[in-house]
Amino acid sequence: MNSSVQIQIPLPYFITSPSDEILFSNDVFHEYVLTSAENKKVYDIFETWEEFKKGQIIRTVVNGKSCVFLKTKMKETQHFFYIGTFSYDLLSLIDELKEAHRLNRELDAIIENSYDGIYITNKEGVTIKTNSAIERITGIPKEYYIGKKVDYLQKRGILQDSVTEKVLEKKRTVSLVQLNYLGRETLLTGNPIFNEKGDIEGVVTNIRDLSELNELQEALRQANELNETYKKEIDRLKRNREDELDVVVKSKKMKLIYDTATRIVNVDATVLILGETGVGKDVLARYIYHNSERRFKGKFVKVNCGAIPPELLESELFGYEGGAFTGASAKGKKGLFEMAEKGVLFLDEVGELPFNLQVKLLRVIQEREIQRVGGTQTKKIDVRIIAATNRDLKEMVKRGQFREDLFYRLNVVPIHIPPLRDRKEDILPLVELFLQNVNKKYGKQKKMDPELKNFFYHYHWPGNIRELSNLIERIVLVNRDPLLKIHHLPTEYQNGKTGHTNIQTLKEAVEQAEKNILIAASKKCKTTYEMAEALQTSQPTIVRKLKKYNITMND
């Protein structure tokens, strides 16, 4: 190749051997690659080498610059001649061709993997494409259809009626039901393909086996039933995540407790969780439920036995029949035991349960059956009971305030959670966890000074974990400084920085005030009915409160 030829061809070109080694290239090519290319492999020169049309068109990139080469074989030498162009129009066409190939592959995959039979004809009714599903539906190989007109298939008895001809005639979607070659009922739906001028240039026909559709409908019905089950489980898991409190297990005592809980998650024995207010009894109860098989079958239902008036607690627990009492729904109502079917019923503050309901609870545990208020028939239940209290049930048994037989029924697996002050290893991890949660909840980025952490560690926490969580949320919200320090603590904590000041919790203050009022009323009133009238509450509530605070009416 002489220089005169190079001048006549102002385009980059090069010649390679059959092994893709560059033997010769012109100056324009050198300007393109900016390096000596002779005796090098093409793959060592180009950053990108994409072949199209079986290698006849190559798109290359060197130094961020694109070029398209056409490849020709030189018959005399068996070498290959490549000539290129930097035309952006040609590059754009190649990119469009590449995208068209990708879309064709996707379309072929969609058609081939369709469960329904698909065949596509041109405007003359000649089949140009089918998929494998047509073989399953008609029993005839898909290759048989290619190149054949629908009227020929009708003559052979493969089709009784042509939906393609009806589409071409009516120029709209047409559906019809007919027996196929195997005598199976099929639904054929033909859809016209219009060009830019609005003329039909082809028809896409979808074939569905109606017998299979009926089977699918039955399968769908069963799947919907199963889906409802899964939906309920997902909703339950979502509620679990929303309700679930964070668990920190660092101390040896808590590790032993949660190890014990893990061993009995799938045992239906009754669990009694003991501990002060705020130590995390409900968290442990939920942990047992979340890690048991019952979470897939039933709900976790919590009832605070001390928060519901005694006269309503029985109907809440066991439900009632229609018209059982004044104001009752005519349809009746499920109780919490029925709502917890296959799941767990968590009886919080079980020590507050009225004496008459203790008898009924004992019967439920023994007989595994309940009877609604106002009802005459019993109903079997499958509910695991987890109870919790901050009171000393043994002492209540001695005083006659709690049934001894019920105590032993509840006390099958007793778990005592120690107060936070007795497991200091858990305090700082809990501080970090609560601070992280509050920051995330309110979009904050607060941090804690080491001195403040030291206060948290040495404070005695009469309100336990609940007090710790509430205090962290409080100081994060009311202080603007990004770094929380000891002076950010509320005044009542400032006065007891060393942790030895006994700060009364809100619950303790309320109970003390309630006790003082009851003592004063018992001195002025002769009966519990008079006390109930004076304090504007019910007589059973007065009786229960007097027992709770061990107050005796004056003679």
For 9-54, write each residue's pLDDT tens digit. Answer: 788 999 999 888 999 988 888 888 888 888 888 888 888 888 888 8
Distance CA 11, CA 430 (A): 73
The fraction of the chain above a pLDDT of 70, given in percent, is 89
When pLDDT is averaged across residues 247-266 and rounded to a whole number, the result is 89
Residue-level pLDDT at 3: 41
Question: Which pLDDT band holds residue 4 (cuts at 50, 70, 90)?
Answer: very low
Residue-level pLDDT at 554: 65
Nearest-10 crossing angle of helices 310-318, 355-367: 10
Torsion, Cα 229 234 235 241, to 10 degrees, reads 150
Classify residue 79 as exposed, middle or buried by CB count within 10 Å of its CB (0-12, 13-18, 19+). middle
The fraction of the chain above a pLDDT of 90, given in percent, is 25
pLDDT over 70 at 374, yes or no: yes
Rounded to two decimals, what is the model's pTM? 0.48
Q: What count of other Cβ atoms lies within 10 Å of the Cβ of residue 190?
A: 24
Phi, psi of 58 (to 5 degrees): -125, 130
Classify 90 as helix, strand or coil.
helix
Asked if 386 and 427 count as a contact pair (C-beta separation under 8 A), the reply is no
For 386-409, write each residue's pLDDT tens digit. Answer: 999 999 999 999 999 899 999 999
Asked if 286 and 246 count as a contact pair (C-beta separation under 8 A), the reply is no
Question: Which pLDDT band holds residue 2 (cuts at 50, 70, 90)?
Answer: very low
Residue-level pLDDT at 498: 46
When pLDDT is averaged across residues 488-514 and rounded to a whole number, the result is 70
- The sign of the dihedral angle between the CA atoms of 153, 156, 161, 166 is positive
For 165-178, write each residue's pLDDT tens digit. Answer: 888 888 898 888 87
Residue-level pLDDT at 273: 94
Phi, psi of 103 (to 5 degrees): -65, -35
Nearest-10 crossing angle of helices 539-548, 506-524: 110
Residue-level pLDDT at 242: 40
Residue-level pLDDT at 271: 94
Question: Which pLDDT band holds residue 496 (cuts at 50, 70, 90)?
Answer: low
Distance CA 354, CA 336 (A): 17
Question: Which pLDDT band holds residue 181 (cuts at 50, 70, 90)?
Answer: low
pLDDT over 60 at 502, yes or no: no
- Least-confidence region, from 72-76, 263-267, 497-501: 497-501
Residue-level pLDDT at 5: 45
**How is the beta sheet containing 57-62 ordered, strand by strand?**
22-25, 13-16, 80-85, 65-73, 57-62, 48-52
pLDDT over 90 at 416, yes or no: yes
DSSP 504: P
- Least-confidence region, from 23-27, 85-89, 542-546: 85-89
Distance CA 246, CA 287 (A): 10
Asked if 444 and 476 count as a contact pair (C-beta separation under 8 A), the reply is yes
Angle subtended at Cα 97 by Cα 96 and Cα 99, rounded to the nearest 5 degrees: 65
Torsion, Cα 147 149 154 160, to 10 degrees, reads 100
Helix (H) or strand (E) holding 313: helix 310-318
pLDDT over 50 at 244, yes or no: no
Q: What count of other Cβ atoms lies within 10 Å of the Cβ of residue 136?
A: 13
Question: Which pLDDT band holds residue 415 (cuts at 50, 70, 90)?
Answer: very high
Distance CA 175, CA 204 (A): 12
Q: What is the DSSP string of 99-138?
A: HHHHHHHHHHHHHHT-SSEEEEEETT-BEEEE-THHHHHH
Q: Which residue has the higher pLDDT, 554 or 68?
A: 68
Chain-centroid distance, C-alpha 250: 28
Torsion, Cα 15 17 18 20, to 10 degrees, reads -80
Residue-level pLDDT at 137: 78
Phi, psi of 69 (to 5 degrees): -115, 140
When pLDDT is averaged across residues 77-88 and rounded to a whole number, the result is 86
Q: Which residues sit opposite 82 in a β-bridge?
A: 14, 71
407 Rama class: left (phi>0) / alpha (psi -120 to 50) / beta? alpha
- Least-confidence region, from 81-90, 108-117, 228-237, 418-427: 228-237
Torsion, Cα 528 529 533 539, to 10 degrees, reads 80
pLDDT over 70 at 531, yes or no: yes
For 440-492, write each residue's pLDDT tens digit. Answer: 999 999 999 999 999 998 999 999 999 999 999 999 999 989 999 999 999 88
Residue-level pLDDT at 245: 47
Mean pLDDT (the chain, rounded):
84
Question: Which pLDDT band holds residue 501 (cuts at 50, 70, 90)?
Answer: very low
Residue 412 token pair? 């099958």
Q: Rg of the Cα trace of the chain?
A: 41
Question: Which pLDDT band holds residue 1 (cuts at 50, 70, 90)?
Answer: very low
